[in-house]
Amino acid sequence: MAAKTINITLKIWRQKNCNSKGNMETYTLNDVSTASSFLEMLDQLNEQLINDKKEPVAFDHDCREGICGMCSLYINGRAHGPDNGVTTCQLHMRMFEDGATIYVEPWRSAAFPVVKDLVVDRSAFDRIQQAGGFVSVNTSGRTMDANAIPIPKEDADKAFEAAACIGCGACVATCKNGSAMLFVGAKVSQYALLPQGKVEATQRALNMVRQMDDEGFGNCTNTGACEIECPKGISLDNIARLNREFLKASLVSNK
Amino acid sequence: MSKSVLLKSSLAKKYWMAATGLFLCLFLVGHLLGNLQLITHTGESGRRAFNEYAYFMAHNPFIKVMSWMTYISILFHIIDGILLTVENKKARPIGYAHAAGTKSSTWSSRNMALLGSLILVFIVMHGAHFWYKAKVKHDMLLHKVTVQSPNGPAELYVTTAGSYLPVQGVKVKNHTEFFEPSVDIKLGEGYKDLHSVVIAFFSGKETNGVPGNENALFAVIFYVIAMVVLAFHLMHGFASAFQSLGARHPKYTDTIKNVGNGFAILIPLLFAIIPVIIWKLYN
């Protein structure tokens, strides 16, 4: 498909820093190639803003190939915009009509405070991960080869699917309750399914859920919106598994 | 086991929400089976059967335990629901300028708190219409029948033992107990006429001494709307309860969803046709 160019109007959240009150600003951007990605379009806008001696729009990005989980953006009421199963860096301007008005907002969550403009602090996810999203391995030099433990193919596949979570936070941004259950569900599942992870399963479920609650995320009400908007297609199966793991853990844990 | 974990954590709140919700689904089935007698039996025998059933429900020890569990479940479901809703609002202090799309979730699933609040309004009204009269106010008329005797029509009370006592010849104590007036001997216990209260309420017609409800048609419409609200609440709630408890598997999740949708349509529909049929029968 030959690339053409479109003219668009952007309504973007501008916020100086975490303490200031932000507001939506309107920009017009002409001659945007439909072959460019959404982030390339924002680069083009920033070039225009710099040329006009204005402050460029801050937004998160890194690998620009959909695997790092760094880009975010709530575009026209959808996390990562109108395409399915993609991150914002994989979203192309061909998804928009000429003359379109596009709303660009940061993830909205009490646990993800805005740092500047469209950049939010997602370190809450890191702290949840640190609370239990790992397996303890002896590194004294006699580490066992992980492949020496037989794992049923089906379990390995499910664990891999859960591990596909890139921690972008689209689930939280999409959820009407700002719940992080899909993220925590995926992180708990990827270990719960494997023999190496079963050793610490009880404490993992308890600690990660406690950290999730402490960070101020909302409660899951099973609307299923997260599963639809997740760029990696993480399934609600993982939330159900977390529900089982936590129930089991709270009944058997000594703590 | 930490005491706080099974009460305070976000997941524990969901477990309680699911458990109480599923118990209330069981209650709905029991309540419906009782109510259906209003339309499956007609005439004097129907009135008798329904009042006998109501007496059984008020006196059977197992039912008493179940009814207390129902009250506690309703209370827990409400408190838990409020806590969850307040926390969920706090989790997003600043909303989005561009409203979220509606394609990624069902309307029911996004509006459970609203639907639940409407159901609470209905439960309060419904309690005032029937439960309060039967349980608290104690001014419900006793089941009376008029029979033709050679001396003209005679009014008799029906006792729970199945016998009949002359209205003029007995004294009523404690609202349902019949006593011989002169020597103060207990002769038996009578049925409260809950059947006539229901018929008078939905038909608008005076029924066995119970004055007709002037706003009967409005009451019928209100009850039907309440059941539509209940249907939408169950449409999400039934299957969601299983998900919250972790019961999800490719083998049976589709079945749970289908049963949930069937339950959400069938149960409220059967509840709703009862007042409609009563109104139609008398108008």
The total of other beta-carbon atoms located within 10 Å of residue A156's CB is 13
| Boundaries of domain holding B167 | 144-189
Distance from the Cα of A173 to chain B's closest Cα (Å) equals 9
Cα gap B2→A254, rounded to integer Å: 8
CB contact under 8 A, A209 and B9: yes
For B89, nearest residue in chain A (alpha carbons): A177
Cα-based distances in Å from B135 to B25, B59, B76, B143, B159: 23, 12, 22, 16, 19
Cα gap B280→B161, rounded to integer Å: 33
Which residues, 6+ apart, have CB-to-CB distance to B253 below 8 Å? B242
B230 domain residue, yes or no? yes
CATH 3.10.20.30 describes domain A5-115 = yes
Same domain, B185 and B71: no
Same domain, B219 and B82: yes
Mutation test of the interface with chain B: which of A95, A221, A242, A244, choosing the one with the most B Cβ atoms within 10 A? A221
Q: What CATH class has A122-138+145-252? A: mainly alpha
CATH code of the domain containing B235:
1.20.1300.10
Contacts of A74 in chain B (CB under 8 A): 96, 98
Same domain, B9 and B134: yes
3-state secondary structure of B248: coil
- pLDDT tens across B139-161, in order? 789 999 988 888 888 899 999 98
CB contact under 8 A, A251 and B243: no
CATH 3.10.20.30 spans which residues of chain A?
Answer: 5-115
Contacts of A218 in chain B (CB under 8 A): 10, 87-88, 90-92
Looking at residue B136, what is its pLDDT?
Answer: 82
B226: nearest Cα among B96, B115, B122: B122
Looking at residue A27, what is its pLDDT?
Answer: 98
3-state secondary structure of B3: coil
Which burial class, exposed, middle or buried, applies to B221 when counting CB atoms under 10 A from its CB (0-12, 13-18, 19+)? middle
pLDDT-based confidence at A154, cuts 50/70/90?
very high
Cα gap B15→B245, rounded to integer Å: 6
Cα gap A144→A138, rounded to integer Å: 8
B32 domain residue, yes or no? yes
Query: Strand A119-120 and strand A114-116: pairing?
Result: antiparallel
- pLDDT tens across B8-63, in order? 789 999 999 999 999 999 999 999 999 999 999 888 899 999 999 999 999 999 99
B84 domain residue, yes or no? yes
For B113, nearest residue in chain A (alpha carbons): A221
CB contact under 8 A, A222 and B1: no
Show pLDDT as tens, one digit a residue, over chain B (283 residues). 445 556 678 999 999 999 999 999 999 999 999 999 999 988 889 999 999 999 999 999 999 999 999 999 999 999 999 999 999 999 999 999 998 878 889 999 999 999 999 999 999 999 999 998 888 877 789 999 988 888 888 899 999 988 899 988 899 988 889 999 888 898 999 999 999 999 999 999 999 999 999 999 999 999 999 999 999 999 999 999 999 999 999 999 999 999 999 999 999 999 999 999 999 999 8
Determine contact, residues A219/A161, Cβ cutoff 8 Å: no
Cα gap A147→A164, rounded to integer Å: 20
- pLDDT tens across A47-87, in order? 999 999 999 999 999 999 999 999 999 999 999 999 999 99
Dihedral through CA A85, CA A91, CA A92, CA A97, nearest 10?
Answer: 90
Same domain, B125 and B252: yes
Phi then psi for A170, rounded to 5 degrees?
Answer: -60, -35
Cα gap B188→B272, rounded to integer Å: 36
Dihedral through CA B129, CA B132, CA B137, CA B141, nearest 10?
Answer: 50
